[in-house]
Structure 1
């Protein structure tokens, strides 16, 4: 049975959502960079970026495709398309196409704005029209260029093709001889290097996560359930300005901590359990990604401490390698060598981490890390026969002066974790 949250974790007043903002001018600069990249091959292609449709009314909160959000900042226009036309006259290279107004739909989903100057100013795009004009607009583009560039990732074999490729194939039938280019790496490269504004968003997501973890550390005890732990964390996020977690929270106690993406979160905490907690707050579309492993009773046992400190040693080794020019493979090797030397190499069976941003597993470019990248580093050891799992995960900003551990404020040494759990406030 779930127990009520402890009073110490409850806010004194209803939470107020913070209003994160990246300047409209930054989105415009991003679109200009895409246009510059499209022109590098000496051609002037068109490209489409789709927001994606929504059934979020009954199935959660709508999120546009991260490429669309990254280039526009628009999060409430399902079905919208951003058109790049590198062959168009200056000032007309970007167009935004929105779904038509529908009074019946608006009764259910809310009113939408007319296309007028206030909307154009808010979005920073002067060319805005309704989607039914897309066919005529593309016909006009084909009078100036016969090259199309795909920016969306292609679907794998057996999956649907990307939405931009589907439209370009229709254009090929209408205009034989059209060239379709693979420019899917353009936005992967751009999104992997976070601007100062993006870094600020991620730092805020981490800070909100810290506050949630702080509340959780003070309340966990045997007899609670994994669900109680999750609720305490996520309540802490919402109480401090977040809309909630950036991904499904994992709370795995005992043997459940050896399951990488365990999300049932329903079992009670036994006194001798270690609990793997993988959760991070979302702020303005950007997410933190934090994992801490804690003892249900507030004190690590000898075996638990042994495995925990081995994983922590591996984590710190990988962090030291996380510099400009390093690869994820090199960062992985630093942890894997330490864990393998201790005899647990076959119990570390996932990669060391991933890029972080608008997606928890953010799009990953090829090549070494650049200044401004934000990555996770998360070694782990999973001993099913001992019902013992340990994973520790930090979010790391890559800078020219070395790695910056954004999540350093969330306790992770044995002493710091035990101290945080002893502080019942």
Structure 2
């Protein structure tokens, strides 16, 4: 039986919307134009995964600038989108390179212009009717800008406040493009304040997930959870961290072509007290705890999951006590999360519960501890969406009331040296515990998309029995 190949799935993500995808992206562009009411130019990633380092192949199935992905679904480097809400000619123009048949022979189908067939292909797949050669970009922007009575131009770059001062991320392609536009504007004798940032309005539209995003995020959770369950059942056969990593990543990648959400953290014993432990090369021992931070993408949504469990398959009494203190903090955050609450308020809830639990339950039972931090080790939540860590990179959003549709992580942790005597036995361990779920905020509470992924002591021990 002959199979039908998906010609454009690598360079156009329909977001699970199928035939509705082109309209969905067009609606997003229209909403942004309505909010900004200004001439805008937004760049995609100008180079591919290995484009800046010769002979370095860093394969990533989804590598587009998230703002372009959100507005167009196009997963291809070297594209630029122009939006001009007041134009009577065309309100949106997509700029791409010329069709390169030799490159397609090497790397597969790519959008391009230069002949009628190629032009029609881009128009048909993306739904954008005005598609032009990227070499024309500067001339088109100049023409549109000089006709614009507002004499303003907007683009996207990362900007925020740190210690009350406005700062920008200056090391990425968005800022490079912003600087290029600023140079052109100076040549065109534009006003000094002509260049505007669409970041606030763009995130206001992008961060609340729609039903397709939520479905994709849920699918990512299902795949991630299934991989974790099978890994726990087989964990007794693993001798080192990389075997656990290879197994769980392999199970996830068997069920998603969109790649990992991020490189997995697989930390045994004392390694789990390093928050972004990455080397994943140490042997594992039976008495240790294991911390794994992992997840898969589905379309452009992510799962970002952390689970901590005993290598032996059974928590010892101290491990169980500490684990349940962290779990109690996580459940308190989930209960408090809803639209109108800030993430900073969730932090207050989380660390109050955990620190109180340490004092009352652990110290109250005769335990002693020394943490690797003061009061709290990290934030309990970050925004998620088109990026695994979404929203402004300075996290000014922490003090903003959360909105319905936002997706956040819920990841309390506990890291340090712990010592206690329980049931006549001494326990003395350096332990890192983190438990992470992904929540979608609603008006009255939240949906825990990760609820299908085992985390109770009973669930974990049952699975590890095999």
Q: TM-score, normalised by structure 2?
A: 0.81
> 2: distance between equivalents of 1:55 and 1:266?
25
Partner of 1:382: 415
- Aligned partner of 2:303 in structure 1 is 288
User: Which of 138, 146, 157 is equivalent to 1:135?
Assistant: 138
Match of 1:300 among 307, 315, 325: 315
Match of 2:188 in 1: 175
What pairs with 1:406-425 in structure 2 (closer than 5 Å)?
406-422=449-465, 424=466
Question: Does 2:377 align with 1:349?
Answer: yes
Would you say the 8 A contact 1:52–1:65 is kept in 2?
Answer: no
Distance in structure 1 (CA, Å) of the matches to 2:135 and 2:170 = 30
Q: 1:55 to 1:206 in 2, by over 3 A?
A: closer
Correspondences of 1:86-125 after superposition (within 5 Å): 86-89=85-88, 92-113=90-111, 114=113, 115-125=118-128
Question: In the alignment, is residue 153 of structure 1 matched against residue 151 of structure 2?
Answer: no
Cα distance in structure 1, aligned partners of 2:120 and 2:306: 46
CA distance 1:139–1:290, shift in 2 (3 Å):
same
1:50 shift after superposition: 2.6
Aligned to 2:77: 78
More displaced 10-residue stretch of structure 1: 132-141 or 251-260:
132-141
Cα distance between partner residues in 2 of 1:93 and 1:250: 45
Q: Which of 41, 51, 60 is the equivalent residue of 2:45?
A: 51
User: Aligned partners of 2:254, 2:145: CA distance in 1, in Å?
Assistant: 52
Aligned equivalents of 1:289 and 1:261: distance in 2? 14
Whether 2:438 is the aligned partner of 1:392: answer: no
Q: In 2, Cα distance between the equivalents of 1:188 and 1:19?
A: 20
In 2, the alpha carbon distance for the partners of 1:20 and 1:186 equals 22
Distance in 2 (alpha carbons) for counterparts of 1:407 and 1:287: 12
1:29 aligns with 2:27: yes
Deviates more, 1:172-181 or 1:369-378: 172-181
The CA distance in 1 between the partners of 2:145 and 2:238, in whole Å, is 67
Q: Does 1:69 align with 2:69?
A: yes
State the distance in 2 between where 1:224 and 1:368 align. Answer: 46
Ranges in structure 2 where 5+ consecutive residues have no aligned partner: 1-5, 52-56, 160-166, 360-370, 419-428
Deviation per CA, 1:349-393: give whole Å up to 9, x if none.
111111112211112473211111111010000015732110000
Q: CA deviation at 1:157?
A: 6.8
- Could you tell me whether the CA contact under 8 Å between 2:157 and 2:168 is conserved in 1? no
Distance apart, 1:83 and its partner CA: 0.9
Structure 1: 4+ residue segments shifted above 4 A: 16-20
Residues 347, 382 of structure 1: 8 Å contact kept: no
Structure 2 distance, partners of 1:223, 1:169, is: 55
CA distance in 1, matches of 2:326, 2:145: 57
Shift of 1:188: 1.5
Is the contact between residue 39 and residue 82 of structure 2 (CA under 8 Å) also seen in structure 1? no
Measured after TM superposition, the shift of residue 246 of structure 1 is: 0.8
Separation (CA, whole Å) in 1 of partners of 2:199 and 2:245:
37
Q: TM-score, normalised by structure 1?
A: 0.89
Aligned partners of 1:348 and 1:382 also within 8 Å: no
Q: Per-residue deviation at 1:271?
A: 0.5
SS at match of 1:143: helix
Answer yes or no: is the 8 Å Cα contact 1:356–1:376 preserved in 2: yes
1:19 positional shift: 8.6
Offset, 1:223? 5.2
Q: Match of 2:346?
A: 331
For residues 273 and 347 of structure 1, the distance between their equivalents in structure 2, rounded to whole angstroms, comes to 25
Unpaired segments of 5 or more residues in structure 1? 1-15
Aligned to 1:144: 147
The aligned counterpart of 1:362 is 390
Match status 1:259 vs 2:259: no
What residue in structure 2 maps to residue 13 of structure 1?
Answer: none
